[in-house]
Amino acid sequence: MSTHELYTIPASLATWDVEMSGSSRFTWEYDDGRDRMLALYQKGKDKQWDSTKRIDWDLEVDPYNVLGIPDQTIAIYGTPLWDRMSEQTRQEVRRHSAAWQFSQFLHGEQGAMICSAKIVESVPDLDSKFYAATQTMDEARHAETYARFLQEKVGLAYPINEHLKALLDSTLSDSRWDMPYLGMQVLIEGLALAAFGVMRDITTKPLPKQILAYVMQDEARHVAFGRMALREYYQNLSESELREREDFVIEGCYLMRDRLRGKETWETIGLSKSEVDEAMEAVDKSEYLRLFRSLLFSRIVPCVKDIGLWSPRLQQAYADMGVLEMAGQSLEALMKQDEDIADQLDAERFAAEEAERAEEVAETIAMGDPES
């Protein structure tokens, strides 16, 4: 089935063309490279995986309860609007909310694939080109995985959200080679990592947990790549150049925050205009969404600080968003946790499979025993 047949809202164009500018940079230095960057590149090669083999696609998913989480996580839960809804409409709210979220993950992964390909083209250092090439493959795998999940398990999809689209547009159309790093590796990937992490930790369903954990294992390396490249480069920029990057970060963070409102989902499930307005008011007042938004910046804020964009006005912008306290998060600890959770999930799955195979072998042997 074509993905366009799954879209709740017709996609405006079959393809979206972004006019890119900047130079394609070649380097003739093949021997030199930073040890940490080359180690990350080696890890990127070692950690490649096949989504058709590593993920158990035979696991069932209820499209009306994709994550298996309580309704309290729905922003309008407990409001008069929620109370007036029929159970059928509530089912649609659950399904559309999950479809919208995973659709934005899918579109973000395609954006990451294109941004990492642009990094290969434009970054001046060969070791960075090497690593970005592995990331391009990672992002292709992620897009493949989320597309299959939506097509086979949810059966519903949404076009790219206008706020995510705007950030991708400004990231890809900028001629400066560091902007795909800043827009994708720091902002979009940082927000995605945090969103994946929240959903990975609260879902009670094994298939989405596998997908989120395995994707996060890759994404943690990608954010490390962006930090490594930008920290060194930004040490040598002028105040005016740093201010331009800070302007981009502030605007991008507001775009990422606003995209979480998901207005199109409420419009699509058949609510009246007044009910959509009521839903959006509830979304803006939702304590759960406020906490969720705060957690989503747990990866971005410390990363922005780490790469050297930490002027008083940027700190004030984060204070206004209510996320300044996230600057104290340890990115290394979060990344190690992402690695450990994915490895533990593998160990548990394969141990269970080995135990099941051992039981089958024992039963087969017992069936052939004449004394049994």
Domains of the chain: 34-361 (1.10.620.20)
Contacts of 174 (CB under 8 A, 6+ apart): 21, 22, 180, 183
pLDDT category at 284 given cuts 50, 70, 90 is: confident
Q: Which helix (H) or strand (E) holds 71?
A: none
pLDDT at site 255: 82
Whether residue 372 has pLDDT greater than 60: no
262: left (phi over 0), alpha (psi -120 to 50) or beta: left
135-166 per-position pLDDT tens digit: 999 999 999 999 999 999 999 999 998 888 98
Q: What is the mean pLDDT of the chain?
A: 89
Q: How far apart are CA 256 and CA 317, in angstroms?
A: 14
Q: How far apart are CA 22 and CA 284, in angstroms?
A: 39
pLDDT at site 344: 93
Whether residue 1 has pLDDT greater than 70: no
CA dihedral of residues 16, 22, 28, 30 (deg, nearest 10): -50
- Entry pTM: 0.87
Q: Which is more confident, 333 or 262?
A: 333
Q: How far apart are CA 204 and CA 69, in angstroms?
A: 7
Average pLDDT rounded to a whole number, residues 260-282: 89
163-219 per-position pLDDT tens digit: 889 889 989 999 898 998 899 888 888 888 888 999 999 999 999 999 999 999 998
Average pLDDT rounded to a whole number, residues 225-253: 93
Give Cα separations from 305 to 90, 156, 310, 349 (angstroms): 41, 38, 5, 38
Q: Which helix (H) or strand (E) holds 314?
A: helix 312-321
pLDDT category at 371 given cuts 50, 70, 90 is: low
